[in-house]
Structure 1
Amino acid sequence: MPYIVTDASLYREQEAPYQLYSTRWQNMNIVDIDGWASDEIKTIVISQIFLDAPWTVQVREFVPVEGDLLEEKWESNGVIRTHPIPKYGLADMNQVAEMMQDWTDQNVFKYIEGSVSKLDDLFWETYMMAFRHPQKAKVGHLHPW
Structure 2
Amino acid sequence: MTLYKTGQVPGYEWTQRWTKGTSDPIQLWASSEIRTVYVSVRYSTEQLPLKVRRFVPQEGDKLERTWAYQGTKKSALIPPYALVDVEAGTSAYTTYIRESMKDIFSTMLGNEEDLLYKTYLLAYHMWQKEERTSEAFGLLNWTLRLWVAIRLSTTSAFIVGKETLDMPANILDESSPDHGKIPLPPVMGAQMDTILIHHIQNKLRHELLDNLQKVMLRNKPTSWLVTYLVSFILLHNIALITKHDASYAIKHGMNRRFAREQKVREYHMGANVILAHFHYCNKGRIPFSDECEDKDLRALAQLDEEKIRFVRATRALVQRHQQEWNQARSNGVYEDDYYFVSQLFDEKWQPSTTNV
TM above 0.5, yes or no, is: yes
The answer to whether structure 1 residue 132 and structure 2 residue 112 are counterparts is no
Task: Give yes or no for contact 1:22–1:68 (8 Å, CA) kept in 2.
Answer: yes
Structure ranking higher in helix proportion: 2
Shift in CA distance, 40/119, structure 1 to aligned 2, threshold 3 Å: farther
Structure 1 residue aligned with 2:79, among 82, 86, 104? Answer: 86
Q: Distance in 1 between matches of 2:109 and 2:5?
A: 21
1:123 aligns with 2:110: no
| Total equivalences in the alignment | 129
RMSD over aligned Cα atoms: 2.8
Residues 1:94 and 1:79: Cα distance change in structure 2 (over 3 Å): same
User: What TM-score do you get using the length of structure 1 for normalisation?
Assistant: 0.71
Report deviation, 1:30: 3.9
Residue 32 of structure 1 deviates from its aligned partner by 2.0
Q: Is it true that 1:105 corresponds to 2:113 in the alignment?
A: no
Q: Does 1:34 align with 2:32?
A: no
> After superposition, where does 1:63-78 map in structure 2 within 5 Å?
63-78=56-71
Structure with greater proportional strand content? 1
CA contact (8 A) 1:44 1:57 kept: yes
* Partner residue, 1:12: 4
Q: Which moved more, 1:70-79 or 1:114-123?
A: 114-123
Change (3 A) 1:23 1:131: farther
Pairwise CA distance, 1:59: 0.4
For the pair shown, which has the larger CA radius of gyration, 1 or 2? 2
Q: How far apart are the structure 1 equivalents of 2:70 and 2:51? A: 37
Runs (5+) with no aligned partner, structure 1: 1-8, 141-145
Q: CA deviation at 1:106?
A: 1.6
Distance 1:22 1:130, change over 3 A: farther
1:137 to partner: Cα distance? 4.0
What is the CA–CA distance in structure 2 between the aligned matches of 1:74 and 1:48, rounded to whole Å?
A: 19
**Alpha-carbon distance between aligned partners in 2 of 1:59 and 1:136, rounded to the nearest angstrom:** 38
In the alignment, the residues of structure 1 paired with residue 37 and residue 29 of structure 2 have an alpha-carbon distance, to the nearest angstrom, of: 17
Structure 1 residues 25, 79: closer, same or farther in 2, change over 3 A?
A: closer
Structure 2 counterpart of 1:95, from 88, 101, 119: 88
Amino acid across the alignment from 1:77: Q
- CA gap of 1:23–1:114, structure 2 versus 1, over 3 A, is farther
Q: CA deviation at 1:18?
A: 3.6
Please tell me whether the aligned partners of residues 30 and 94 of structure 1 are also in contact (alpha carbons under 8 angstroms): no
The Cα offsets for residues 33-85 of structure 1, whole Å up to 9 and x where unpaired, read as 22212211111111123321112111011122232221122222344321112
CA offset at residue 135 of structure 1?
A: 3.0
Partner deviation per Cα, 1:76-96 (whole Å, 9 max, x = no partner): 234432111221000111111
